[in-house]
């Protein structure tokens, strides 16, 4: 809904330019502001002072570019929900309990990645534990059993990769396990 409101504001603004009516919208978030406003009342961004049609045209181009690149479920969503997305890799069930994964696509993506990472780590650790015990009793099997014991090291590395992705506002799937979806 917010994206369509932004499109409408851009269209209204561009139409007002054609008619010669000066309307001020924030060049960052698209919220309407008074002509005297130095800062946006919604996002606090510094507002350009209008000094003729050249500035007005630049603002309309800026609004149009902002509308094309910034959508509610991307830039603003990522910035506002970074902490909960990082938390999804450390304690995966917190975003699920709080219900944060329902309000944000960014949180849902990272909660899914964190949950899949947890499930995979449990499955791999149980499997490697069982195989390690079986191999330990075979001749020379203690070497392979020891290697299975280090399999858990992969999961903290994947968690760090996920945390770095969330901190950088990226929605990149984790290696090997990122294509699975359990949180809808």
Whether the pLDDT of residue 2 is over 70: the answer is no
Report the percentage of the chain scoring pLDDT > 70. 72
Q: For the chain, what is the mean pLDDT? A: 75
Q: Where are the chain's structural domains? A: 2-70, 77-167
Q: 27 Cβ partners below 8 Å, 6+ apart?
A: 45, 47, 48, 59, 62, 63, 66
Report pLDDT for 73: 47
Residues 50, 43, 88: CA angle, nearest 5 degrees: 150
Is pLDDT of 121 > 70?
A: yes
pLDDT: which is higher, 140 or 180: 180
Per-residue model confidence as pLDDT tens digits over 123-134: 988 888 888 888
- Write down the pLDDT at residue 103: 83
Q: What is the pLDDT of residues 165-184, one digit of tens each?
A: 999 988 899 998 888 888 87
Tell me the CA distances in angstroms from 131 to 135, 148, 149, 154, one per residue in order. Answer: 6, 8, 10, 17
Distance CA 117, CA 100 (A): 18
pLDDT tens-digit series, residues 11-62: 655 665 555 545 577 777 777 777 777 777 777 777 776 544 344 444 445 4
């Amino acid at each position: 809904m917010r994206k369509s409101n932004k499109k409408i504001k851009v269209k209204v603004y561009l139409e007002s330019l054609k008619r010669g009516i000066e309307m001020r919208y924030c060049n960052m978030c698209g919220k309407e502001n008074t002509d005297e406003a130095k800062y946006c009342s919604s996002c606090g961004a510094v507002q350009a002072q209008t000094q003729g049609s050249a500035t007005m045209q630049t603002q309309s181009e800026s609004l149009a570019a902002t509308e094309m690149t910034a959508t509610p479920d991307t830039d603003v969503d990522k910035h506002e929900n970074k902490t909960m997305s990082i938390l999804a890799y450390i304690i995966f069930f917190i975003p699920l309990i709080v219900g944060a994964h329902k309000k944000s696509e960014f949180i849902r993506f990272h909660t899914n990645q964190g949950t899949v990472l947890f499930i995979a780590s449990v499955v791999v650790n149980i499997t490697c534990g069982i195989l390690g015990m079986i191999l330990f009793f075979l001749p020379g099997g203690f070497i392979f059993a020891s290697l299975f014991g280090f399999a858990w090291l992969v999961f903290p590395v994947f968690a760090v990769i996920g945390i770095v992705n969330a901190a950088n506002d990226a929605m990149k799937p984790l290696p090997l396990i990122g294509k699975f979806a359990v949180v809808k």
